[in-house]
């Protein structure tokens, strides 16, 4: 599968970066490896890779690298915090996420919403039904359902209520 191939490539990149003394590349590859492991359900491997990335990153004070990886990294860091992994540094990183989220930036999402998804999200947040959204956007209710499913996937939620709450957190409603 593609995640498996990505993991192998990242592992190779970690080794090359280590051999060449390119710490920043090594940290980013380990962080991406942690995200890939997490997505595959390999929680212990994800935590090991994340801890290795954090151990390399802490002495140099890397913060932006983790924040730029978006919400999935924030969730991974929250899990690390709950497991007591490098608590002081993880707290610094999570605080950086909070300040990044306080300043609305659509790039916080790993995959940004399309303009049509953004319109749909605003109407969902306004409490309109799929039929009402379809009429307003001049599309079929089935198209609205497809947009909603894509929005839920991108926001990592399962319902309209969760989508609205997450969109508010991220400053996506306008």
| CA pair distance 109, 69, nearest whole angstrom | 9
Both tokens of 63, joined, read 């913060």
Can you give the pLDDT at residue 82? 92
Angle at 153 between CA 67 and CA 167, to 5 degrees: 60
Angle at 122 between CA 116 and CA 126, to 5 degrees: 145
Strands, E assignment, the chain:
none
Both tokens of 133, joined, read 């959204």
Query: Average pLDDT for consecutive 10-residue bins of the chain (174 residues)?
Result: 78 87 92 90 93 95 88 91 94 83 54 89 92 94 95 88 84 76
Domain 108-170: which CATH class? Answer: mainly alpha
The DSSP line for the chain is -HHHHHHHHHHHHHHHHHHHT-HHHHHHHHHHHHHHHHHTT-HHHHHHHHHHHHHHHHHHT--HHHHTT-HHHHHHHHHHHHTTSSHHHHHHHHHHHHHHHHS--GGGSSSPPPHHHHHHHHHHHTT--HHHHHHHHTS-HHHHHHHHHHHHHHHT-SSHHHHHHHHHHHT---
Can you give the pLDDT at residue 169? 78
Q: Where are the domains of the chain?
A: 2-103, 108-170
Can you give the pLDDT at residue 112? 84
Can you give the pLDDT at residue 154? 87
| CA pair distance 35, 32, nearest whole angstrom | 5
Can you give the pLDDT at residue 2? 76
Residue 119 DSSP class? H
């Amino acid at each position: 599968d593609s995640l498996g191939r990505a993991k192998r490539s990242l592992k190779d990149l970690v080794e090359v970066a280590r051999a060449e003394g390119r710490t920043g590349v090594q940290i980013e590859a380990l962080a991406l490896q942690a995200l890939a492991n997490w997505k595959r359900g390999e929680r212990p491997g994800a935590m090991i890779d994340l801890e290795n990335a954090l151990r390399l990153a802490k002495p140099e004070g890397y913060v932006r690298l983790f924040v730029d990886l978006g919400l999935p990294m924030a969730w991974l860091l929250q899990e690390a915090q709950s497991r007591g992994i490098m608590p002081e540094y993880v707290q610094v990183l999570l605080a950086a996420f909070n300040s990044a989220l306080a300043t609305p930036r659509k790039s916080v999402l790993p995959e940004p919403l399309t303009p049509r998804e953004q319109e749909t999200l605003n109407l969902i947040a306004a409490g309109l039904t799929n039929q009402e959204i379809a009429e307003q956007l001049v599309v079929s209710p089935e198209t609205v359902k497809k947009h909603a499913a894509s929005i839920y996937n991108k926001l990592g939620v399962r319902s309209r209520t969760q989508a609205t709450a997450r969109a508010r957190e991220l400053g996506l409603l306008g």
